[in-house]
Structure 1
C-alpha cells in the first residue's frame, strides 16, 4: 500500500521540529517528508531523529531540516511493491518515499501496512509507581510517566519503543496517582500492546524492583524491566540476544558518562608521598540506565510486600557468584528526574 496525495506525511522544508512532529504523529508512519515549495524532496525526518534531537537538548523551534537525512533512501514512481519491500528489508527502514525523476514526492510506502515486527514471547515491566519528588510541584498532581515530551507522555514513548521491537505484553507497576496512568494507557491496544498493571499498596511502596513479586503469571523467557521515566531509544531485540548469548542472569543497560573534576587531583601513596598532580582530569564511568534484562526465575528472590530495588537484585546475584553483564546503549538517554532533565527532554534546554 502506498500513502499518496493528502495522506503523504510532508511539511515545508522550513518547518520547525514541532511542526514536523505533528506531521509524523498525524501520518502514523514514523516519518515526515520535508519538501520545497514545488514539492521536491529535500530531506526525511523520522521519529527517531526527533527523539535524538530532543534528547540532545535542541528546542522544538529548531529547524527540522537540520536533523533530517538530506539524502534519504527513495524509490522511483512505479517500482513494484515486492521490490520496495525487498529494499526496505535491505535498508532496514519502515517507510520510504516514492519520487519521480524531478524529485517530486508521489507517495510513501509503509512496511507496517504489510508486515509488522514479529511478536516476541518476552514480556516487559515498566516501573511507573514513583512519586517523582525531585520534580517538585510538577508531579504533585500528575505522575512523572505522564509528563509530556514531544507531544506524548513519556510512558507512551516507552511502550511504543517496546512494541516497535516486538514486545507486545507489558506490565506497568503503578502506585502514585495510579488511576491517571491506568486511565491514560488503558489496555494498551491503541499503542499496539497488551498492558496489565501491578498495583502497589499506597502505604507500602515497593521501589524499582519490589513490584516484580506481584506478577501472578511468571514469564518463562528473559524479561525486560525498565524505569518509567526514561527517554531512551534502544534495540530490545539486541539486548535480549546479548543476554541469552552471554548466559547472564541479569544484564544491565549502561552508557558512558564523563565528568570533568573542577580541581587539580593529587595522587599519593599510603605514606602520603605524591606521585602525580593531574589538573582537572576527565573521569569516564559506566552508569546504570535503569534498563534491565533478567531471567524470570530471579523473581523468586524478590521479597514480597517489601521495598526493594533492581540494584538490590543485581547485588544479590553478584554475591551468589552468578553472571551479571553490562550492555552498552548506543543511543542518547535521559533519566527525567529533575526539572532540568525534563526541560532538556522537552527540547527547552
Structure 2
C-alpha cells in the first residue's frame, strides 16, 4: 500500500477528494499541509457537508476534521481496541515526527458480515427503447453485461448484503425474464408482478399490495450502485424519511464557449468550455411500505411523480449523495459499454 495515495492537500477541492476516495476505494483520506498530516476527511464528512450546505465549490479545509484520531508506532498493538472504541474505519500510525508511516483499516482487521435482509423491488417492465436493437430481441433486464444479464448483477449485489427476497415488476417479454430466473441456480427467491398495461416506474408498485409490509429498496433494472447499502439504509432510518433518493454527482464539461447575452443584445459574459457539477437521480430508492398501500390500482405514474406528491403533502423525502464513480448506468448504448468494461476490470 502506498500511503501517498491516501494523502490530499487541504487546499484541494471537495470534488478532488471525492475522485480520490473513489480511486483508493476506501472511505477516508488524510489531509496534509506542506506534506505534514493535519486532518482527516471521510466520505461521511463530505456527504454531511453536501446535505447541510449544498455547496459543491468547497475545499477540503472547509470540511475536514482537524482533530483526527491516530496512534503512534509504539502503540500499534492497541489499534484494534482503539478503532472499536472510537468507531473508526481507518487509523493512521505516526512516527515521532507525526508523519504517517502506515494505515490500519478496520476491514483488514475484522471480517465485516453484511446484513441487510430487506425486500428489493426491480422495475423490469420497460421497453428499453434507448437500447434498440438489443431490446428487439431481449428484454432490457436480460441484456448481458459480461457473462450474466444486468438484472442478475443487480440482484447479486443486494444478495451479498443479505437480501433474499426479490420482486420483479415485469411486462415487456416477461416470459423470457421468468424463464431465465427459473432456470438458474440461486439461493434467493424471485417473485413477479405482471403489468397488463405499462404503469411507469411507480405505478407497478401497486401490484405488490399485501406482499411487502416493511421498508424496501426500489431500483431500476439498468443501473448498478457501487456503495455501502447498509449505510444508505441506516441513513434512511435515522432520518425518518418516507423515501430516500440515491443521487449521484455529475460533472459535465461543455465542449464549447458559452455566451450569455444581456437585455440590450450585447455579450454580457463569455465562458470558455465551462464545467458544471450537480446531483442527479440514479433510480435507486429506500421506501416505506406506506407508499405501496396508498397507490391507486392501475394508475400509470413515474416514481419521481410519486415523490413530488408526497413532498407537496409535507412528507419527509431525503437524499443520499454518492460519487459519480459509484453509479453505473446502462440506459444508453455508450454507457452500457462503459459498464461492461468497468465490471470486467473490477470482477
> What band does the TM-score fall into relative to the shorter chain?
0.5 to 0.7
- Using the size of structure 2 for normalisation, the TM-score is 0.62
Q: Does 1:152 align with 2:148?
A: yes
Q: Is the 8 A contact 2:213 2:289 kept in 1?
A: yes
1:59-208 matched pairs, under 5 angstroms: 91-92=106-107, 117-118=114-115, 120=117, 122-186=118-182, 190-201=185-196, 204-208=197-201
SS in 1 for 2:166: strand
More helix by share: 2
In the alignment, the residues of structure 1 paired with residue 158 and residue 333 of structure 2 have an alpha-carbon distance, to the nearest angstrom, of 26
For 2:30, the equivalent position in structure 1 comes to none
In the alignment, the residues of structure 2 paired with residue 119 and residue 311 of structure 1 have an alpha-carbon distance, to the nearest angstrom, of 25
In the alignment, the residues of structure 2 paired with residue 286 and residue 276 of structure 1 have an alpha-carbon distance, to the nearest angstrom, of 25
Q: What are the ranges of 5 or more consecutive residues in structure 1 without an aligned counterpart?
A: 1-89, 97-110
Shift of 1:268: 6.2
Q: Relative contact order (C-alpha < 8 Å, sep 6+): which is higher?
A: 1
Q: What are the ranges of 5 or more consecutive residues in structure 2 without an aligned counterpart?
A: 1-104
After TM superposition, where is structure 1 displaced by more than 6 Å over at least 4 residues in a row? 268-274
Shift of 1:341: 1.9
Shift of 1:344: 1.9
Shift of 1:257: 0.7
1:1-349 matched pairs, under 5 angstroms: 91-92=106-107, 117-118=114-115, 120=117, 122-186=118-182, 190-201=185-196, 204-267=197-260, 276-330=269-323, 331-347=325-341
Q: Is the 8 A contact 1:187 1:194 kept in 2?
A: no
Shift of 1:198: 0.7
When residues 116 and 262 of structure 1 are mapped into structure 2, their CA distance, relative to the original with a 3 A threshold, is closer
Q: Is the 8 A contact 2:329 2:339 kept in 1?
A: no
The Cα RMSD (Å) is 2.9
In the alignment, the residues of structure 2 paired with residue 304 and residue 161 of structure 1 have an alpha-carbon distance, to the nearest angstrom, of 31
SS in 1 for 2:285: strand
Shift of 1:172: 0.6
SS in 2 for 1:195: strand
Post-superposition CA distance 1:123-161 (Å, at most 9, x none): 110001111111112111211111111211111111111
SS in 2 for 1:221: coil
Q: Is the 8 A contact 1:268 1:274 kept in 2?
A: yes
Q: Is the 8 A contact 2:260 2:267 kept in 1?
A: yes
SS in 2 for 1:321: coil
Residue range with higher mean Cα deviation, 156-165 or 323-332 = 323-332
- Using the size of structure 1 for normalisation, the TM-score is 0.62
